[in-house]
Amino acid sequence: MRKVTLTFDNGPTPSVTHRVLDVLDRHGISASFFVVGRKLADPAAREAAERVHAAGHWIGNHSFTHDTPLGRMADAAASVAEISRAQDALGALAHPRRFFRPFGGGGALGPHLLSRAAFEYLCAGRYTGVTRNAIPRNWEGDRGWTDRAVAQCMAQDRTLLVLHDLATGAMQYLDEFLSRLAGGGAEFVQDFPPDCMIIRDGLPAQGAERFVAD
């Protein structure tokens, strides 16, 4: 049976995140939300994040501003601050394992994800770094993301899927997508596939260096 872990990046977006939570609740699915720290200054966004947490979904750190991949930041201290400021903003909402997902700009993976300083900070702070192995580009907002996502999930036994709870219109098709996957025999799980964790509780996984800038 194919197993799928759902994750949502770049929120919370109150009007969208609440809709996503309603759909997940109807399907009985537990997911993870990787949050942009600066958004939590908006009381409505923080309320949405609190609902995410209360529903048993996991919350991780997706940097404070989400402006520049950390491996492309010239200022090492600024790249570290992107992690620490977001973690401070999350506070008690953050998962105890201190999940962090670096962003690549357009979903790309590579050495631009982390600066050396950020990588060392994550290890010293016993963070767990999470990537993905499926990204259907739902931020583009077209309905076609559902076809791309189904194809990606059904092409492998273990999928960590990245979606985005953004106001693009894409999440209006989430219910349809989840029904299609369930109908195809997929099982939804919350844990992350081992090969999608580049750091585990502060310990670098084999091959983690390929995500770190020189």
Query: What is the C-alpha separation between 60 and 197, in angstroms, rounded?
Result: 13
Chunk the chain into consecutive blocks of 10 residues (it has 214) and report each block's average pLDDT, rounded to whole numbers.
96 98 98 98 98 98 97 97 98 98 91 98 98 94 93 97 96 97 97 97 97 94
Residue % of the chain over a pLDDT of 90: 94
pLDDT on residue 4: 98
Question: What's the Cα-to-Cα distance from 26 to each of 13, 29, 164, 178, rounded to whole Å?
Answer: 20, 8, 19, 10
Delimit the domains of the chain by residue range: 3-211
pLDDT on residue 124: 98
CATH 3.20.20.370 fits 3-211, yes or no: yes
Structure-token pair, residue 190 = 């919350």
Question: What's the Cα-to-Cα distance from 189 to each of 60, 119, 145, 199, rounded to whole Å?
Answer: 17, 28, 21, 20
E strands, the chain, where?
Answer: 3-11, 32-35, 58-61, 99-100, 128-130, 158-164, 187-189, 197-200, 203-204
Rounded to two decimals, the pTM is 0.97
Residue pLDDT, tens place only, 110-143: 999 999 999 999 999 999 999 999 999 999 888 9
Structure-token pair, residue 78 = 């600024």
pLDDT on residue 109: 95
pLDDT on residue 106: 84
Structure-token pair, residue 1 = 């049976």
Task: Say if CB 74 and CB 115 are below 8 A apart.
Answer: no
pLDDT on residue 214: 84
pLDDT on residue 142: 86
